[in-house]
Amino acid sequence: MAANPNPQPSAPLRSGEDGFDIRRIRPLLGGTGFVPFAWPSDDLSFLAEVLRTQHAPQSLIERLIAHAAAPDRTLSPAERLEYALGAHYRFLPLDDALRLPALLIVGPPGAGKTALVAKLAARLDPRRALAVSSDAANVAGVMQLEEYIKALGLALAVVEDTAALTAAVDGAVRRTVVIDTPAAGTGDAEMEERLREWKAATNAEIVLALPSDLDAGEAEAIGVWAGGLGAKLMIATRLDLVRRIGAVLAAADAGGLAPIAASLAPHFAYGLKALTPALLARRILTGALDAERWQRRR
């Protein structure tokens, strides 16, 4: 059945202690007014609008809502969203990722890859971790990583070519190797070829470091780029700087990437949080309901 062309908002939902009322809002599809769309329930309409406030792409919103419609109708909106995220994305526990022999961290300029390498290494037993910088030409970046790794009491290797990188990984017996790489992105064919070569030579798992403050369209392009390199995992960086996480959702969807963690603090030794459907759902709902469009002062 098509949606009512002139829907009336339902009664306000009390938000409790924050002194605001939250209203459910019927979603708009497209930019030309109301488009007939059979929303199965008010809760699903609410979730669609929440995802819209997060700047998630429209096609992704509709697929997530289709998942959210599947469970029993007694579930709360938060439980529905958690279910939808778990059904749509492939979540891998962060600890499982850290058991892999080698992780090749890639991402665009400003993604925070160097700090992320330190954050990942900090979660490992010092005797079972090796950080590697493959960007020897970037003296400032190498010095920064060296400072981080020294403070953590971990081992660091700096390599200049594929042969040296392969030797470092092969020599890291029973260690997890976390590899920092030069900044790269869409359109950098030379760097793409080098990353593919490093992945093949070391059998490393590529992990995209995705800045959470990107535009969703740009994030989609980077997700596709990373997926084309063979990446299967993604960590959202700079999540402490944003309220909307449409870029995170868009990149993981476009690249077929498993969101495994998020960086929630700038410090190199902590602030890395494993991502789960429940945590991501809470972040989405909290961020949306804090936004001004959901609030009406008494």
Q: Is residue 281 part of a domain?
A: no
Q: Is residue 3 part of a domain?
A: no
Domains held by the chain: number = 2
- 64 and 112 in one domain? no
Residue type, 171: G
Share of residues in the chain with pLDDT > 70 (%): 82
Q: Among 40-49, 144-153, 224-233, name the one with the lowest average pLDDT.
A: 40-49
Q: For position 18, what pLDDT does the model report?
A: 36
Q: Is residue 8 part of a domain?
A: no
CA distance 66 to 157: 47
- 247 and 155 in one domain? yes
| Residue of 245, 206, 9 whose CA lies nearest to 104 | 206
| Residue of 95, 76, 117 whose CA lies nearest to 209 | 117
- Write the CATH number for 150: 3.40.50.300
- 107 and 70 in one domain? no
- 120 and 135 in one domain? yes
Q: For position 37, what pLDDT does the model report?
A: 39
Domain that holds residue 38: 13-89+286-297
Q: Mean pLDDT score of the chain, rounded to an integer?
A: 84
For the stretch 2-53, pLDDT in tens is 444 444 443 433 333 333 333 343 443 344 444 343 334 488 998 999 999 8
Q: For position 73, what pLDDT does the model report?
A: 73
Place of tokens 């949080």: 273
Give yes or no for residue 242 having a pLDDT over 50.
yes
For the stretch 183-214, pLDDT in tens is 998 888 999 999 999 999 999 999 999 999 99
CA distance 282 to 290: 12
* Phi (first) and psi of residue 112, to 5 degrees: 80, 35
Q: For position 4, what pLDDT does the model report?
A: 44
Q: For position 296, what pLDDT does the model report?
A: 44
Mean pLDDT computed over 53-69: 95
Q: Is residue 110 part of a domain?
A: yes
Q: Is residue 280 part of a domain?
A: no
The answer to whether the pTM exceeds 0.85 is no
CA distance 149 to 130: 9
Q: For position 166, what pLDDT does the model report?
A: 95
Q: For position 41, what pLDDT does the model report?
A: 47
Q: Is residue 7 part of a domain?
A: no
- Give whichever of 210-219, 268-277, 289-298 has the largest mean pLDDT: 210-219
Q: For position 297, what pLDDT does the model report?
A: 38
Q: For position 268, what pLDDT does the model report?
A: 84
- 204 and 135 in one domain? yes
CA distance 259 to 219: 13
CA distance 54 to 73: 24
- 234 and 144 in one domain? yes
Q: Is residue 125 part of a domain?
A: yes
- 30 and 62 in one domain? yes
Contacts of 224 (CB under 8 A, 6+ apart): 254, 255
- 250 and 121 in one domain? yes
Question: Which comes out higher in pLDDT, residue 217 or 28?
Answer: 217
